[in-house]
Amino acid sequence: DIQMTQSPSSLSAGVGDRVIITCRASQSITTHLLWYQQKLGEAPKFLIYGASSLQSGVPSRFSGGGSGRDFTLTISSLQPEDFATYYCQQSYSTPWTFGQGTKVEV
Amino acid sequence: VQLVQSGAEVKKPGASVKVSCKASGYIFTNYEINWVRQVPGQGLEWMAWMNPITGNPGYSQKFRGRVTVTRDTSISTAYLEVNSLTSDDTAVYYCARTTNSGWFDHWGQGSLVTVSS
């Protein structure tokens, strides 16, 4: 199975801050990397596919990058509605696996 | 696109639970359905997927033999059944529409299953 490791597990930031979350795969997954946002008590929301392509409707302050084993999710200017937990997931091969999550808090 | 799941359940250890996921707003047989669970306070864990045309399933090794996924195409509904429940199965269970590239692009609202004696 492909292991996904996110860092940090949590971070504190303020409105307007630039936030970077990293995700590392245990083997190369080329660009088969997805990002989700989950707010407390809600289902995950699909943000990014193919490591860097924004799903329709996702604000442009979100961006993704990377290939191979190392990936990033960047929020260029954190907004109040962005405080949530973010998960990466590999879509390279089954079993699909997720990172453990990064909680972005005030 | 909407995926509407069945409501919360409380089950005793050793029992089974069947969660439903009714799809609307798209052609049900055009997308796979995957199931993901989330233990309270923890991350996301993939459990199983199903090809809605053939009904062929795939399971995480962790759940194989204890979990069954099925569907009824006439009502655009997928099902997840978990047997031999223990307290470790207390979790929110999600269904997710999945593209052929493995993207979970729409999720159900989740179904909380509580296992308690």
Pairing of strands A85-90, A33-38: antiparallel
pLDDT for residue A104 is more than 90: yes
Per-residue pLDDT of chain B (117 residues; tens, 9 = 90+): 999 999 999 999 999 999 999 999 999 999 999 999 999 999 999 999 999 999 999 999 999 999 999 999 999 999 999 999 999 999 999 999 999 888 999 999 999 999 999
Closest among A77, A79, A62 to A17, alpha carbons compared: A77
Which of B45, B94, B105 is the closest to A46 by Cβ? B105
Q: Residues B50, B57: contact at Cβ < 8 Å?
A: yes
Q: Which residues of B touch A43 (CB under 8 A)?
A: 94, 107-110
Question: Which pLDDT score is estimated for B101?
Answer: 85
Q: Are A43 and B45 within 8 A, CB to CB?
A: no
Pairing of strands B2-5, B9-11: unpaired
Q: Any residues with CB less than 8 A from the CB of A20 and at least 6 apart, and which?
A: A72, A73, A74
Which of A49, A55, A96 is the closest to B46 by Cβ? A96
Closest among A1, A12, A3 to A102, alpha carbons compared: A12
Question: Which pLDDT score is estimated for A106?
Answer: 81
Q: Are B107 and A98 within 8 A, CB to CB?
A: no
Closest residue in B to A100 (Cα) is B43
